[in-house]
């Protein structure tokens, strides 16, 4: 269980894992404690992610909290205001300036909490997440449960044959699998298309 540091300096926390690993639930848990502590918080998500709601962060268990959808990571700096805590959900969808934005905020003394998928549906590091995982003070990697064998799952398996680079969805399109079960079944499409896999949500 992650416990908040008692220092007042800024830092970066990353919550990562596959789909259905509870990332948004963990983010909401931390944010509820921020609210109890009477700290000013601003929550951002990429405007691309509108699966459940336009302006709230909603986890799979339907708990939610207001958030601000933004077009790019520069907008996070623009709308950060005087927030003591900045939360960023679905961080894998943001542009490659996100690590710089997080660093800038942390140096200002802001607690930055970033949640996102560490791997895309091809099992490749996703967007700016590897950079953020390297530079964060605190990293929490969560695991789902493999729907095939019941062991801990680290991979997001795409069930549909959708070849789009980004396919938003939940249980209709994806399922959590462990490494072995993920590789025992061929993905609906292969690496041969030449497109860079940028994919998924959750
Ligand atoms: Zn498995």
CATH number of the structural domain spanning residue 144: 3.40.50.300
Question: Mind spelling out the 3-state secondary structure of 46-89?
Answer: ECCCCCCCCCEEECCCCCEEECEEECCHHHHHHCCCCCCEEEEC
pLDDT in tens, 82-123: 999 999 999 999 999 999 999 999 999 999 999 999 999 999
Print the domain residue range for 74.
Answer: 11-200
- The pLDDT mean for the chain works out to 85
Distance of alpha carbon 88 from alpha carbon 77, whole angstroms: 12
pLDDT in tens, 164-181: 646 666 667 899 999 999
Distance 180 CA to ligand 1 centre (A): 6
**pTM here?**
0.82
Cβ-contact 113, 139 below 8 angstroms = no
Tokens of 182: 């993920």
Residue 5, domain member (yes or no): no
Distance 181 CA to ligand 1 centre (A): 4
Q: How confident is the model at residue 191 (pLDDT cuts 50, 70, 90)?
A: very low
Please state, as a whole number, how many other Cβ atoms lie within 10 Å of the Cβ of residue 11: 17
Looking at the structure of the chain, the number of domains it has is: 1
Average of per-residue pLDDT across 29-38: 91
Residue 3, domain member (yes or no): no
Distance 72 CA to ligand 1 centre (A): 36
Helix (H, G, I), strand (E, B) or coil at 129: helix
- Give the active site residues: 90
């Amino acid at each position: 269980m992650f416990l908040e540091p008692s220092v007042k300096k800024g830092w970066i926390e990353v919550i990562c894992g596959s789909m259905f690993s509870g990332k948004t639930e963990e983010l909401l848990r931390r944010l509820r404690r921020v609210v109890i502590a009477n700290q000013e918080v601003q929550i951002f998500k990429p405007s691309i992610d509108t699966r459940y709601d336009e302006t709230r962060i909603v986890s799979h268990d339907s708990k939610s909290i207001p958030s601000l959808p933004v077009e790019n990571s520069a907008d996070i700096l623009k709308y950060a205001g005087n927030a003591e805590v900045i939360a960023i959900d679905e961080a894998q969808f943001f542009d490659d300036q996100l690590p710089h934005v997080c660093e800038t905020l942390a140096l200002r003394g802001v607690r930055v909490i970033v949640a996102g998928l560490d791997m895309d549906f091809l099992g490749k590091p996703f967007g700016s997440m590897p950079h953020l995982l390297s530079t964060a003070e605190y990293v929490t990697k969560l695991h789902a449960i493999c729907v095939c064998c019941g062991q801990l799952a680290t991979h997001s398996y795409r069930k549909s044959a959708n070849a789009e680079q980004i396919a938003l969805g939940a249980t209709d399109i994806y399922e959590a699998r462990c490494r072995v079960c993920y590789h025992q079944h061929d993905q609906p499409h292969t690496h041969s298309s030449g497109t860079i896999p940028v994919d998924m949500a959750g």
